[in-house]
A and B are shown apart, each in its own frame.
Chain A
């Protein structure tokens, strides 16, 4: 079956702008998690959505938000972009339990200039 897809794959934005990233999970998966990956901070958990509800949240400012739709697709939004938001944003889907492995998409590479 199809894997996790993320769009767009690459984005270049200017400081102060906002951006929306999209993630389509594996069919049947109801949990979608988002991560930020940077060379300095590694993989950091942003938030997890399950059945359209945010269930867990990492330590990121309120400029980072997300939502999940009834078909489990998820979007992540970053407002008022800063240079430090440049990163690879990874989406992962799973069946949702803490014991379940996550399957990752290819990521969206965001560059803020």
Chain B
């Protein structure tokens, strides 16, 4: 069965520090998709990134970067030079279903990030 673990329940950093959020997943499928979402205090989940299991290239988007390592089943998320606006709960999610089988996302428990001024 698929499972997503985010071992860090809460993290606090001071503004401008770098912070890495860990995500470890379990799946028996060879084709799967990984996602990161941000949930600010307003409550609405915001999509950040998608990765498929065949693409281990790391990705950088501004201050955000993602490190996908199949060997350790991890998909970690780093925020460089954190800002107060980054304060939110971050969720990692896994989708095993192929394109013909619909959607069944499994979300991790989330990591609450607090960035202090």
Could you tell me which A residues sit within 8 Å of B by CB distance?
31, 33, 35, 42-43, 45, 48, 50, 55-56, 58, 88, 90, 92, 94, 96-107
**How long is the Cα–Cα vector from A102 to B98 in the complex, in angstroms?**
15
List A contacts of B110 (CB < 8 A). 42-43
Of the 9-residue stretches B12-20, B61-69, B100-108, which lies at the interface with chain A? Answer: B100-108
Produce 1/0 per residue, B91-117, CB < 8 A to A.
Answer: 100011111111111111110000000
Nearest-CB residue, chain B, relative to A99: B33
Which 5 A-B pairs give the minimum distances between C-beta atoms? A97-B99, A98-B97, A55-B102, A104-B45, A43-B107
Output the nearest chain A residue to B103 by Cβ-Cβ distance: A48
Smallest CB–CB gap between A41 and chain B, Å? Answer: 9
Knowing A99-B99, A101-B35, A101-B50, the reply to whether A88 touches B43 (Cβ < 8 A) is yes
**Does A96 lie within 8 Å of B103, measured CB to CB?**
yes
Interface residues of B, dominant DSSP: loop
**Interface of chain A: mostly helix, strand, loop or mixed:** strand
Check B43 against A107 for contact (C-beta < 8 Å): yes
B52 interface residue per 8 A CB criterion: yes
Across-interface contacts of B50 in A (CB, < 8 A): 99, 101
> Do B45 and A45 have beta carbons less than 8 Å apart?
no
Q: What residues on A are CB-neighbors of B35 within 8 Å?
A: 101
What 11 new A-B contacts, CB under 8 Å, besides A55-B101, A97-B98? Answer: A33-B103, A45-B105, A56-B102, A58-B104, A97-B99, A98-B103, A99-B98, A102-B103, A106-B42, A106-B44, A107-B43
Residues of B within 8 A of A94 (CB): 103
Known: A55-B102, A56-B102. A101 touches B47 (CB 8 A): yes
Best-surrounded residue of A43, A102, A104 (most CB of chain B within 10 A): A43
User: What residues on B are CB-neighbors of A33 within 8 Å?
Assistant: 103, 105
How many angstroms between the C-alpha atoms of A102 and B93 in the bound complex?
Answer: 11
In whole Å, how far is B58's beta carbon from the nearest beta carbon of chain A?
Answer: 19
